[in-house]
Chains A and B, each alone.
Chain A
């Protein structure tokens, strides 16, 4: 496990793979596996009083396992950093975000199949926790896994963040396989309509009310996400918005990722099932990309305006990497094309979509 921690640190520093996540995860792993530190001692009630506990034990117990506070706090910061303007300007891009959640279902059913044939000890709860990796959303993955299968939390989180870092390698071959050159070259005009402040303020409020009424279990994620967005878009709480985008998200990232790394015991990680989780995670990402692109092709058929189906790949909510992948491929195929702003629409919608899926899973399995 020490070696695994060192590898993550190397990936973060040398390869710049999601350094904000993998660096503290790597250190957390090392600290958790050095003997005699007491850092992992989780608070236990002894005779009506809480006994001694280690720093990482406190973070894990209260931040993740018992109250799942940390992923929710990160979502406030993510919401404050998200610009929904492209989605508000072109609401049909919501459908691409929905289609990209196909990857979650593929991984969910795949994990169940492995359990069914006795290849891995994956029950329905573990399968849901593995499937949500396909949502390409770290905090959502951590949140759901901590509720349904806490023993897999570290592995699924690492899988999610690792594949987010590899989006630029995973997505292009799938996009190219599912689209023709002519489709990839489809030019979408570079100006889309301006979005008013009223729309940008109403959007998070409407989303919160609608989604939480329909899927109450998604409230911790969607509610916090939209709250953060409202801080940003209201324009009257600049300090709070700046804090959410900077101090809040940075502090909670430090604590959460350190805890994730520390909560990966060697006896869980060094098992064949860990490789299966990683493989299923890859299937989830690939399936999500494929789902988004295929929906893009359907929308191209019915759209009156030119529609580049590649932007569906950005429904995999690795923000903003997936959108940048689409932008990069789009420019290579047609240098006049500037797809980034279109791709940010499904990118943002995918975050909402994966949070909704997590809420539904919790509602049905939690």
Chain B
């Protein structure tokens, strides 16, 4: 017998957690990029890479 309450709970937690974690990563990435931009020699050795230079490869 399917416990629908448990099922909805699992689905909600899984989707909510995923959203939450990815949103948190979004904020962290923004914050890290901002902090890094204050450091001198940000693009030293290195190759700033334009974000449209994708070496996309298939699985």
Bound Cα distance from A192 to B17, whole angstroms: 29
Task: Count chain B residues whose beta carbon lies closer than 8 angstroms to a beta carbon of A.
Answer: 45
> Among the listed stretches A54-62, A205-213, A260-268, which one makes contact with chain B, having 4 or more residues with CB under 8 Å of it?
A205-213
Q: Mark B38-59, 1 if CB is under 8 A from A, else 0.
A: 0100110111111111111111
> In whole angstroms, what is the CA distance A97 to B27 when docked?
15
Task: State which of A26-34, A43-51, A86-94, A178-186 sits at the interface with chain B.
Answer: A86-94
**Bound Cα distance A361, B22 (Å):** 17
Decide if B51 touches A89 in the complex (CB within 8 Å). yes
Q: Which residues of A contact B59 (CB under 8 A)?
A: 20-21, 78, 138, 164, 318-319
Bound CA span A248–B19, Å: 32
Tell whether, in the assembled complex, residue B2 and residue A360 are in contact, meaning their CB atoms are under 8 Å apart. Answer: no
B42 pairs with A86, CB closer than 8 A: no
- CB of A94 within 8 A of CB of B56, answer no
**Alpha-carbon gap, A361 to B51, bound state (A):** 33
Quote the shortest CB–CB distance from B18 to chain A (angstroms): 5
**The one of B26, B43, B46 that contacts A91, using a Cβ cutoff of 8 Å:** B26
In the bound complex, how far is the Cα of B24 from the Cα of A352, in angstroms?
13
**A contact residues around B47 at 8 Å (CB):** 197, 235
- A128 and B15 alpha carbons, distance in the complex (Å): 13
- CB-defined contacts of B10 to chain A, threshold 8 Å: 108, 124, 128, 361, 364-365
Q: How far is the CA of A78 from the CA of B58 in the complex (A)?
A: 9
> DSSP class of B's interface residues: helix, strand, loop or mixed?
helix
Cα of A88 to Cα of B50 in the assembled complex, Å: 11
Q: Which residues of B lie under 8 Å from residue A202 when comparing CB positions?
A: 32, 36
Judged by a CB distance under 8 angstroms, whether A356 is at the interface is: yes
Which residue from chain B places its CB closest to the CB of A86 in the assembled complex?
B51
Which of B22, B42, B52 sits near A353, CB closer than 8 Å?
Answer: B22
Q: Is A85 a contact partner of B36 (Cβ separation < 8 A)?
A: no
Within the complex, the shortest CB–CB distance from A253 to chain B, in Å, comes to 9
Residues of chain B contacted by A164 (CB below 8 angstroms): 59
Q: Are A196 and B36 in contact (CB under 8 A)?
A: yes
B43 touches A196 (CB 8 A): yes
How many Å lie between the Cα of A297 and that of B27 in the bound state? 21
Residue interface mask A211-235, B partner, CB < 8 A = 1: 1001100000000000000000001
Q: Which of B27, B33, B39 contacts A88 (CB 8 A)?
A: B33
Interface contact B26-A92, CB-CB below 8 Å: yes
**Residue in A97, A116, A191, A215 whose CB lies within 8 Å of B2:** A116
Q: Tell me the bound Cα distance from A21 to B59 in angstroms.
A: 9
A194 with B48: CB separation less than 8 A: yes
Q: A197 — which chain B residues lie within 8 A by C-beta?
A: 43, 45-49
- Measured CB to CB, the closest approach of chain A to B59, in angstroms, equals 6
B25/A210 in contact, CB under 8 A: yes
Give the contacting residue for A95; candidates B19, B36, B52, B54; CB below 8 A: B19
Contacts of A323 in B (CB 8 A): 56
Given contacts A81-B57, A206-B32, A215 and B21 within 8 Å (CB-CB): yes
Shortest beta-carbon distance, B53 to chain A, in Å? 7
- Determine the residue in chain A with the shortest Cβ distance to B15: A105
Docked CA distance A85–B58 (Å): 17
B residues sitting closer than 8 Å to A (CB atoms) are 2-4, 6-8, 10-11, 13-15, 17-19, 21-30, 32-33, 36, 39, 42-43, 45-59
Binding site for B on A (CB under 8 A): 20-21, 78, 81, 83, 85-92, 94-95, 97-99, 101-102, 104-105, 108-109, 112, 115-116, 123-124, 127-128, 138, 164, 190-200, 202-203, 206-207, 210-211, 214-215, 235, 245, 318-321, 323-324, 338, 340-341, 344, 349, 352-353, 356-357, 360-361, 364-365
